[in-house]
Structure 1
Amino acid sequence: MRPVILAAAIAAIAIQPAQAQTMTAPDYPETRRGDVVETLFGEQIADPYRWLEDDVRNNPEVADWVKRQNAVTQSVLDQLPLRDQLRGRIAELYDYERFSTPVKRGDRYFYMRNSGLQNQNPLYVRDSLTAEPRLLIDPNNWAADGATALSDWVPSPDGSKLLYSVQDGGSDWRILHVLDVTTGKQTSEEIRWAKFTGLAWVGEEGFLYSRFPEPEAGQDFQALNYNQAVYFHRIGTPQSEDQLVFGTPEHREYMHSAGVTSDGRWAIITSSIGTDARYEVHAIDLAARAEKGWAARPVVKGFENAWSVIDGIGGKLWFTTNQGAPRYRVTTIDLDAAAPTWTDIVPETEQPIDGSAIIGERLILSYLQDASSVARSFDLGGKALGEIELGGIGSVGGFTGKAGDPETFYSFSSFNRPATIYRLNVATGERSVFAEPKLAFDPDSISVEQRFFTSKDGTRVPMFIVRRKDIAQANTAVPTLLYGYGGFDISLTPSFAPSRLAWVEAGGAYVVANIRGGGEYGKAWHDGGRLNNKQNVFDDFIGAGEFLIAEGITPKDGLAIQGGSNGGLLIGAVANQRPDLFAAGNAQVGVMDMLRFDRFTAGRYWVDDYGYPDREADFRVLRAYSPYHNIHPGTAYPALLVTTADTDDRVVPGHSFKYAAALQAAGLGPRPQLIRIETRAGHGSGKPTDKAIEEAADTLAFLGFWTGLQPRP
């Protein structure tokens, strides 16, 4: 294997971008090809790189492969002409003060604040709204590499204690601790093996959380997750004495999460069987716990629909549900009634409900209007009281608080505006700015517009297009980065990202396609892009790319694509199906082997969207689009950069390892197919700022090189 020397080619391409397509692919590290072949439903399925599924921590051969791949990839990335410029500008754009929406408990206000380039977000508290902020937790001191993060946190009802979780190296596993807010000192509490958990205080005496049994040694990052249960931990006692509150050992596949109504009356246990919004709900009357213990009363049975509790006041609970309302409605039930019945108070509309809260004596609902947020208030009986002013195309978050509170806090952001935090007087509707960042760019210089295109089957699909205003006004075709997800009922709404803004400032366009499989238009939009309808997701994304070229947004050789997780699957699938359409792609932490995704960690939950690989009808669908199994040897492919991380225990890195090895073995033309593997990082959350900047600079420099994005003079 020889070093990859690309300087001369890069220099030429900086002058004539079209020549980028003539660059020679590097010499890839040798990858051992195994002889695994299985017969599945009468078809011979080769899996020559199955050995790459092994945990890098436990298999020296996999660790060596990772090292060699990273060396070749980095030798290419280090020489890209845009990389240093992008890294510097992304760092400048990251360097602004960021706040979370405050949470009030007692007289105290808790919120996260990052001064700009801190690797992790510290947590602050104010003892009153006008008091000086006090640093409560600074996770930047927890690890030398900055890869240990403060994850979820919940103050106790009177604000005297703080329950929080620690995330190490990007893993989904959490360690729980408790802090005395007055002294800032940590108590003796340490809870392990919590994962996919809610955190809920039961008065001041203890809290509810969800955990799995401790995995076998060495299986932390790969073993399937079964037998989750809800436990109660009493402050001052060891974890070994925690009480089992709710579990289903007869159904080890069920998931359970606990919450407590803001008045402390009810513990609400929400159970699921996968990623689909189909839940069972049980309620535990905490006022009767001395007499009845943790007796769980069924409220919703059957795993047929989505049921999400908004809050409770006394015996009355408010829920959002899609039962008989694919775009959701609000309904109530009084559990203190002799014969509790459901009463609808806010009916379904054309716009799906995306968020809900009870604040003071108001019900606040956020909706999606063509993938952008609107917010409305109602009284607790469902009478409409008006719309809450937001700020155009963007996303709302927060509305933190509880029944009886006079105020709430929320955030609003868009592609060209980081989150501003507002304080809203819920009775008068008056709002004021709680925190607004100072920026290193002019938001008004960036154009954000929405357009619609027609997919292969005639479906009208929205997209957001973000460009410099001068480029938008001239309608100049420029290198374009098209982003998509398309799954699991997840909606892509406008959000701010320094790296994407750096791409736009450099002269490119950034586009988000709201393809089917998401939740932008409710259940029908989700159903239209999953199971045997999954091909619609790929057709929508391909249609988006064709639209951008036809409309002159991007030149034919200037289109890059990007997506993460289920979006990584999207990139792999469309690169196989239309390699001619795209100049470059970045598949991030993708699900690439659709015949074995259910064998690792959380993969078994994804059958709601993907189907079951061991059922023939589903197998046929999965086999037809699985990125790993549908690479076309000898075909000219886009330049592809696969990115993953060694501690990703949600979509295990073996997916990306196998896919990259198969790409490199297939002889896919002159453009490179590389893999970048981050260390001490996971699926995305908890990644330190410095690592996020480095990865973004690498990725965008790679995509920009192959689409003709030019370095600034």
Structure 2
Amino acid sequence: MTDPRLWLEDSNDVALEWVKERTERTLDSYRGNRFDAKRSAIFDILSAKDKLDLGTLRGDYVYNFHTDADHPRGLWRRTTLESYLDEPEWDVLLDIDSLGQEEGESWVFGGANLRRPLFDRALITLKPGGSDANVVREFDLDTRTFITDGFEAPASKGSMSWMRRDSDAVLIARDFGAGTLTDSGYPRSVRLWRRGTDIDDAPTILEGEREDILVSASHDFTPGYERTFAVRAKDFRDTVVYEVDHDTLELKEILLPHSAGVGTIRDWAVVELRYDWELKGETFPAGSLLALPYEDALTGPVPERIVKIFTPTPQASLAGMTEIQSGVVFTTLDNVRSRVYFASIDTWEVTELHPELGEFDSIGVGAVDREKGDAVWVTTTGFLTPTTLLYGTASKDGLDVTTVRSTPERFDADGMVVDQRWAVSADGTRVPYFLVGSRQALRGEHPARCLLDGYGGFEVSRTPGYLGTYGKAWLEDGGVYVLANIRGGGEFGPAWHQAALTKNRKRAYEDFAAVARDLVATGVTTVPQLAAIGGSNGGLLIGNMYTTYPELFGALVTRVPLLDMKRFSHLLAGASWMDEYGNPDTDDWDFLQRYSPYHNVAEDGEYPPILVMTSTKDDRVHPGHARKFTALLEELGHNVEYYENIEGGHAGAADAEQSALSLALIFEFLNRRLAEGPRAEEKPASADCVR
């Protein structure tokens, strides 16, 4: 059957007029003093000059990208490490607002790749309106100008990065013309482009198939261990890695599982397994972190020479890893609570480190310069704990770090607490979730308005982080925020993700529904006071709450969502997600149609009010998903409101002003649609914060 709303996938005048009419109608209905005050308060947080500016050390300087009210599109700048650790005196290299005005383009900064070892040139990535498609240009740090006749790549999805030290060559993966993109819209090949030559004459390093996700390449600049790698990603869990010969460009395959994440540290290969690895009679379990001699990765791994750095348990999974000169520092989640370890490259002996950290706070560790020493950046954050940056060293003796600075407190957390609880899903699986709000509400003494958040896909873990804007706009008004760690995510490693793939996708939705029921059963909230929110894959989650569990919610918000699971693989990057969801053009449609929200709305169904939000510039999840779903609900007479931002790409907003407007719209929608809960003045005068 032909989709009667297919025309809304177009970006012609007719479709955009439909978008404009509904977006303006939604905004007009919310404009007023309360909405303006909410938007202003959120904007002040997002555009503050005193935000925590994280930096990256390259050579003698720490580089940073900063936005504030005066520079909404931002400043790329640098300072010395000594200055950064004290009171930074920033030297502005590039003003994106000024550049956009000069060129008549709505540029969004996409990062800078500096040339080693002089760090005199940079490849600057610029995104029109915040789209995934980007322009890359070569920039001179001495003159602070783009280089005429320098390396430049026109708008396309893809990347460009330097190859080798003192090099006048780049690794470039772009749209090179007809047939050079995959079905997902990403580069199908990567080339070596030398200065002064035509891009069409650049030799191809690696070319994949049209059905692949993408092909890319990168260079490891570690002195004495420089290597170039080319990568062919067949899907999200099938990636072939090759070492590239610098002179001949010949490829030598890395003989490790294609499903694994592979890195190098000096003469070792470091491997993160996504599936069990059977090797000559020995099994290395999924979720393990392993090390083996790099030469074995090229000639064939030997079980006896493989070191087990981390082996997962049903409760503990690998969260992150950074390589420093003397080894690796890695973090784990143990029942979604952060722990930190160090493994020495000399012996691979593992030592647990014990940083000062609140019970429910998260920690991240990153190398300052993996080529030079064991210095690390450490960031800590929690729902009620402002993000803090620390600097120091990591070793088997611990994290020897000192505080650099913290994010200022953005909301009044007095009387608020954090807790972790478990709901029981339909198949008996225990599903954890975090709650943030007043002690009274969490105890069930005074049911409150509650906002339930979740994602549940692509092995993405959702962990505690400072609730600056949500704290100001939601918690201060007496609301409760809940984060559900449902299956499909990575909180308990690969198995937690794989449990909700393709035909088992419903488990993620059953998990989320179980958390919603638990919140009501424990008295934290009531159905008329309970809302849920999610974006992208999380937007698909919300679509399924709407069609399958409408009786559990008082209101729903879906952002940049997937909603039409019959068409998703034919739209933009959708073909790359079939390993996650299934292929709707095969028998997979038998199960896909059961969780395709667009195909499960009943004319006589009773549904909660829903706010649908997307971006015209989203070139990852097509805005047609949101448009067609909204049109269907309108035709059937259901309560739906629609907002489409012209810019922003998949982020939904290109700057602080756009983000503030969309967030204010969300919170005012919830204020209107949910039953009343306790207001801010009803909070107890004081209470200890549970972390």
Instruction: Report the TM-score range of the alignment, normalised by the length of the smaller protein.
Output: 0.7 to 0.9
Pair 1:689-2:656 in alignment: yes
Give the 3 Å change call, closer, same or farther, for CA 82–609 of structure 1 in structure 2.
farther
Partner residue in 2 for 1:256 = 215
Rounded Cα–Cα distance in structure 2 between residues aligned with 1:69 and 1:338: 57
How far the C-alpha of 1:201 sits from its partner, in A, is: 4.1
Q: For 2:357, which of 383, 386, 391 is the aligned residue?
A: 391
Pair 1:190-2:152 in alignment: yes
Structure 1, 655-664 or 682-691: larger mean CA deviation? 682-691
| SS of residue matched to 2:448 | coil
Structure 1, 100-109 or 453-462: larger mean CA deviation? 100-109
Partner residue in 2 for 1:610 = 581
The one-letter code matched in structure 2 to 1:189 is F
How far the C-alpha of 1:99 sits from its partner, in A, is: 4.1
Structure 1, 391-400 or 691-700: larger mean CA deviation? 391-400
Identity of aligned residues (%): 25
Partner residue in 2 for 1:152 = 111
Give the 3 Å change call, closer, same or farther, for CA 437–659 of structure 1 in structure 2.
same
Rounded Cα–Cα distance in structure 2 between residues aligned with 1:667 and 1:121: 43
Give the 3 Å change call, closer, same or farther, for CA 485–242 of structure 1 in structure 2.
same
Q: For 1:233, which of 185, 193, 199 is the aligned residue?
A: 193
Rounded Cα–Cα distance in structure 1 between residues aligned with 2:405 and 2:217: 31
Give the 3 Å change call, closer, same or farther, for CA 600–442 of structure 1 in structure 2.
same
Give the 3 Å change call, closer, same or farther, for CA 445–160 of structure 1 in structure 2.
farther
The one-letter code matched in structure 2 to 1:157 is R
Pair 1:703-2:665 in alignment: no
The one-letter code matched in structure 2 to 1:677 is E
Partner residue in 2 for 1:14 = none
Rounded Cα–Cα distance in structure 1 between residues aligned with 2:297 and 2:549: 59
The one-letter code matched in structure 2 to 1:697 is A
The one-letter code matched in structure 2 to 1:156 is R
| Kept in 2: contact 1:362–1:426 (CA 8 A) | no
- TM-score scaled by length of structure 2: 0.87
Give the 3 Å change call, closer, same or farther, for CA 359–142 of structure 1 in structure 2.
same
| SS of residue matched to 1:557 | helix
How far the C-alpha of 1:376 sits from its partner, in A, is: 1.2
Pair 1:571-2:542 in alignment: yes
How far the C-alpha of 1:112 sits from its partner, in A, is: 2.7
| Kept in 1: contact 2:217–2:230 (CA 8 A) | yes
Rounded Cα–Cα distance in structure 1 between residues aligned with 2:296 and 2:423: 51
Partner residue in 2 for 1:34 = none
Rounded Cα–Cα distance in structure 2 between residues aligned with 1:146 and 1:543: 47
**Structure 2: gaps spanning 5 or more residues:** 277-284, 682-691
Partner residue in 2 for 1:143 = 100
Matches within 5 A, 1:360-371: 360-371=325-336
Give the 3 Å change call, closer, same or farther, for CA 329–198 of structure 1 in structure 2.
farther
Partner residue in 2 for 1:98 = 51
Rounded Cα–Cα distance in structure 2 between residues aligned with 1:545 and 1:258: 44
Partner residue in 2 for 1:405 = 373
Partner residue in 1 for 2:462 = 492
Deviation readout 1:592-642 (Å, 9 max, x if unpaired)? 1101101111100110111001111x1011111211110011222111110
**Structure 1: gaps spanning 5 or more residues:** 1-36, 39-46
The one-letter code matched in structure 1 to 2:24 is A
Matches within 5 A, 1:646-665: 646-665=616-635
Deviation readout 1:550-585 (Å, 9 max, x if unpaired)? 111112210011100111111111111121211111
Q: For 2:176, which of 203, 213, 222 is the aligned residue?
A: 213
Deviation readout 1:96-135 (Å, 9 max, x if unpaired)? 5334543222222222334567423432212443373312
| Kept in 2: contact 1:147–1:681 (CA 8 A) | no
Structure 1, 177-186 or 378-387: larger mean CA deviation? 177-186
Rounded Cα–Cα distance in structure 1 between residues aligned with 2:52 and 2:254: 37
How far the C-alpha of 1:227 sits from its partner, in A, is: 5.0
Pair 1:557-2:528 in alignment: yes
| Kept in 1: contact 2:269–2:297 (CA 8 A) | no
| SS of residue matched to 1:65 | helix
Give the 3 Å change call, closer, same or farther, for CA 135–685 of structure 1 in structure 2.
farther
Q: For 1:308, which of 262, 269, 274 is the aligned residue?
A: 262
Rounded Cα–Cα distance in structure 2 between residues aligned with 1:180 and 1:239: 21
Pair 1:88-2:88 in alignment: no
Matches within 5 A, 1:58-77: 59-77=12-30
Rounded Cα–Cα distance in structure 2 between residues aligned with 1:574 and 1:199: 42
| Kept in 1: contact 2:158–2:186 (CA 8 A) | no
Structure 1, 154-163 or 652-661: larger mean CA deviation? 154-163
Matches within 5 A, 1:285-324: 285=245, 289-290=246-247, 293-300=248-255, 303=258, 305-309=259-263, 311-313=264-266, 315-324=267-276
How far the C-alpha of 1:91 sits from its partner, in A, is: 2.5
How far the C-alpha of 1:344 sits from its partner, in A, is: 2.2
How far the C-alpha of 1:354 sits from its partner, in A, is: 1.9
Give the 3 Å change call, closer, same or farther, for CA 447–213 of structure 1 in structure 2.
farther
The one-letter code matched in structure 2 to 1:413 is T
| Kept in 1: contact 2:105–2:128 (CA 8 A) | no
Partner residue in 1 for 2:686 = none
How far the C-alpha of 1:204 sits from its partner, in A, is: 3.1
Deviation readout 1:139-170 (Å, 9 max, x if unpaired)? 23233599521113222332332222111112
Rounded Cα–Cα distance in structure 2 between residues aligned with 1:102 and 1:635: 51
| SS of residue matched to 1:439 | coil
Partner residue in 2 for 1:540 = 511
